[in-house]
Amino acid sequence: MRPDFYVLSWNDLLVSLLFIAFSLFLIKKWKLGLENTLLIGTLRTFVQLTLMGYVLTWFFDQQHWAFMLMLLFIMIVIASYEGTRRQKNEIPHFFPAMLVALLSSAILILGTILLFILDVEPWFSPYAAIPIGGMIIGNGLNSTALTANRFVGELKHREKEIETLLALGATPKLAVYDSMKASIHAALIPNINAMMTVGLVQLPGVMTGQILAGIDPIIAVRYQIMIMYMWFTTATLANMIMLAIVYRQYFTSKLQLRRELLREKKA
Amino acid sequence: MSYIISFCLCAIYNWPMEKDMLFQFEDVHLRVDDKHILQGLNFNISKGEFVAVIGASGAGKSSLLRMFNALTSPSGGNITFRGIEIDSDIQALRKNVGVLFQNPVVFDGSVRENLLIAGRWDQTISQTLDHEILTALDQVGLVNIKLTHHARDLSGGEQQRLALARTLLNHPQVLLLDEPTSNLDPKLSREIMDQIEELRKALNLTVIAVSHDHMLMRRYAKRVIILSHGEIIGDGDFKTLDKSHAFEDAGLLKNGVNDAT
């Protein structure tokens, strides 16, 4: 009974334009000067997502493991580049650090989900690999990009503290331990908070989408639980791998803090 | 035979013996972004000396001090510690060469946690007993302080003493002081320097102190190295150098106030 009932047609979508029309009316009334931007945004949402739909349909028709791996790799490369772009400070070798962090977490977590949790047949089935892979990479990107920014902030803030520890005989890893801890905490606490309140305050997007598409809520909930666990593990793993590579860039082989990197401003 | 002769010569002229040599700087340079911070430094420091490194701000004093515990490496030249390349075992070097920074770093936590911070990586420190901690606190003049007291609640002078006690728990042979009293009032500065001088004698420490306050330093240091624009323009005892105008050349007034800023 359920599925057909909720299928959106192009005509239905036209009706949803009324939302935009209503917003436009309010914006004009308040003279906010956002009309043009909103119109461009509306158009771009439509064009980009429609194109994406066709691209995804084409991707879903490709039944070859090499194609799927290539696609995931390209997604990871783009995410690593985006992560590098989001840094306020120039972090040496940040692109390869992101690449290794995202690649390892994608292999481990996506691999486990496809092979052992969902038992997808064949394992490279694009219906599972693309959306779940996308979520892992996207979440890994957001989390590591924030953590790296925070980590460099901590290094700047704790420069004297780090040098004091080095001067007492600490290794670089121990000297930056508190900085790493603070930045990983900052990255993981929102994830833990989300796990605490999920379902109480709002229903997560994936679950809402599945329910709207006619999936039994009990099944949709199981997916959501798996996704929450997956998100947390991705963030933990990707951040730790990224930081393990990044912190080393801030020290010389003679266990000295490269203070010049903390002064440098990104051009 | 040569050893006996050198021993006799050293004994007669009161020169430090080769085996007492701690640091040896040979044509040491430091360049940062094409800027010459230190140039052509040649000197030795022997065991038990109290050496003051004096100069106006920007003379390169702090950069020089950072070389003694390899927090900075020279761009050219050679530094040895006890006859071995200074960077051959940096962690061991840093345990041997303690430093007291201008603004001491006090970590968030109790007095005990601050003192035993090196216990994170050093088992001998993590196993330090309370009475050893109290001895270290006593040595730096911190008495009547609870080990559970929050370290950041201590006064500036107490924090400086706490940082000194923390360094002493590593049992260093050398103590580096980077303008250790510049943020303290003259009375407190003198008290802390007196304490350090006492420690130097009791523990047979070598002290290398960087300061722009040569009036304070001449009370303690037998030897002074005067730096100006990254070069040594005087190395000897205060009395001899007073006659040479080296202090004035370095931009320092006779009353000990730095006039460079």
Domain residue ranges in chain A: 1-61, 65-263
User: Mind telling me how many Å the CA of A153 is from chain B's nearest CA?
Assistant: 18
- Output the pLDDT for position A60: 85
Position B257 in a domain: no
List pLDDT tens digits, range A177-193. 999 999 999 999 988 99
Looking up residue B118, the CATH number of its domain turns out to be 3.40.50.300
Asked if residue B143 is part of any domain, the answer here is yes
- Which pLDDT tens digit goes with each residue over A211-227? 888 889 999 999 999 99
Q: What is the mean pLDDT of residues A46-58?
A: 92
- Phi, psi for residue A232 in degrees, rounded to 5: -65, -45
Task: Determine, yes or no, domain membership for B62.
Answer: yes
pLDDT of the residue at B254: 58
Q: What pLDDT does residue A112 have?
A: 95
- Note whether residue B258 is domain-resident: no
Specify the pLDDT at position A1: 43
Q: How far apart are CA B254 and CA B241, in angstroms?
A: 12
A5 pLDDT exceeds 60? no
To probe the interface with A, which of B105, B107, B123, B171 has the most A CB atoms within 10 Å?
B105
| Per-residue pLDDT reduced to its tens digit, B81-114 | 999 999 999 999 999 999 999 889 999 999 999 9
- As a whole number, the mean pLDDT across chain B is 87
Domain extent at residue B27: 19-249
- pLDDT > 60? residue B15: no
Confidence of residue B130 (pLDDT cuts 50, 70, 90): confident
Question: A144-179 burial string, b = 16+ CB within 10 Å, else e?
Answer: bbbbbbbbbbbbeebbebbbbbbbbbbbbebbbbbb
Amino acid at B215: M
Separation in Å, CA of B165 to nearest CA in chain A: 12
Read off the pLDDT band of B13 (50, 70, 90): low
Q: Percent of chain A, pLDDT > 70?
A: 96
Nearest by CB: B120 against A163, A174, A260: A174
pLDDT, chain A, mean:
91
pLDDT at B124: 85
- Answer yes or no: is B104 within a domain: yes
Which chain B residue is nearest to residue A172, measuring alpha carbons?
B91
Residue B17, pLDDT above cutoff 70: no
**Is residue B72 within 8 Å of A252, Cβ to Cβ?**
no
Q: Which of residues 7-46 of B touch A (CB under 8 A)?
A: 32-33
pTM summary value: 0.85
A165 chain-B contacts, CB cut-off 8 A: 117
Give domain status of residue B36, yes or no: yes
In a domain, B9, yes or no: no
Residue B261 placed within a domain: no
pLDDT in tens, A109-134: 999 999 999 988 888 888 889 999 99
Q: Is residue B184 a contact partner of residue B156, using CB atoms and an 8 Å limit?
A: yes
pLDDT tier for residue A101 given thresholds of 50, 70 and 90: very high
**Is residue B258's pLDDT more than 50?**
no
Q: Is A137 an 8 Å CB contact of chain B? A: no
Q: Is B161:B167 a contact under the CB 8 Å cutoff?
A: no
Task: For residue B256, name the pLDDT band (cuts at 50, 70, 90).
Answer: very low
Structure confidence at residue A215 (pLDDT): 87
pLDDT at B5 (0 to 100): 60
Name the minimum distance, in Å, from the CA of B91 to any CA of chain A.
5
Residue A264 has pLDDT above 90, yes or no: no
Is pLDDT above 90 for A6? no
B125, burial (CB in 10 Å: exposed 0-12, middle 13-18, buried 19+):
buried
Show Cβ contacts of residue B68 under 8 Å, excluding neighbours closer than 6 positions: B23, B97, B174, B176, B208
Q: Which of B94, B167, B176 to mutate to test the interface with A (most CBs of A within 10 A)?
A: B94
**pLDDT (tens digit per residue) in B182-230:** 878 888 888 999 999 999 999 999 999 998 888 889 899 999 999 999 9
pLDDT at A127: 87
Q: What percentage of chain A carries pLDDT values higher than 90? A: 75
How much is the pLDDT for B89? 94
Please, which pLDDT band fits residue B261 given cuts at 50, 70 and 90? very low
Give a three-class secondary structure readout of chain A. CHHHHCCCCHHHHHHHHHHHHHHHHHHHHCCCCCHHHHHHHHHHHHHHHHHHHHHHHHHHHCCCHHHHHHHHHHHHHHHHHHHHHCCCCCCCCHHHHHHHHHHHHHHHHHHHHHHHHCCCCCCCCHHHHHHHHHHHHHHHHHHHHHHHHHHHHHHHHCHHHHHHHHHCCCCHHHHCHHHHHHHHHHHHHHHHHHHHHCCCCCCCHHHHHHHHCCCCHHHHHHHHHHHHHHHHHHHHHHHHHHHHHHHHHCECCCCCECHHHHHCCCC
pLDDT band, residue B257 (cuts 50/70/90): very low
Report which residue type is found at B177. Answer: L
